[in-house]
Amino acid sequence: AQKVTQAQTEISVVEKEDVTLDCVYETRDTTYYLFWYKQPPSGELVFLIRRNSFDEQNEISGRYSWNFQKSTSSFNFTITASQVVDSAVYFCALNPHNQGGKLIFGQGTELSVKP
């Protein structure tokens, strides 16, 4: 079975705190892609990052960083020094091999950053 699990339904932090959003995936494919999307209240999904299964290098982009560990099938997302504008629902997604652009999404984590 191919599945993405985001165990944290809701997280609430105070501005400037660091926060990590967890993502665990299941697939038997050796080739696959993982994604993170942000969904603000407007509803539009905003692409954050794409990672292929052969690239376990961690990535940092400004206040955002991602930790990909194939050994634990996890692809966690950390926001450093969170800001109110980071409040949104964040989705982790899996693209299985040979399934075109189909994305299998986790249930999402709603992040609330309070001033």
The token pair that represents 17 in the structure block: 């705190």
Q: For residues 42 and 71, which CB has a smaller minimum distance to other proteins in the complex?
A: 42
Residues that bind other proteins (CB under 8 A): 33, 37, 42-47, 50, 52, 91, 93, 95, 99-108
Percent helix, strand, coil in the chain, to 5, is: 5, 50, 45
For residues 9 and 29, what is the distance between their CA atoms, to the nearest angstrom?
27
Minimum Å gap between C-beta 17 and other proteins is 27
Q: What is the nearest approach in angstroms of other proteins to the Cβ of residue 114?
A: 23
Q: Residue 106 CB, nearest distance to other proteins (Å)?
A: 8
Nearer to other proteins among residue 4 and residue 113 (C-beta)? 4
Of the chain, the end-to-end C-alpha distance in Å amounts to 41
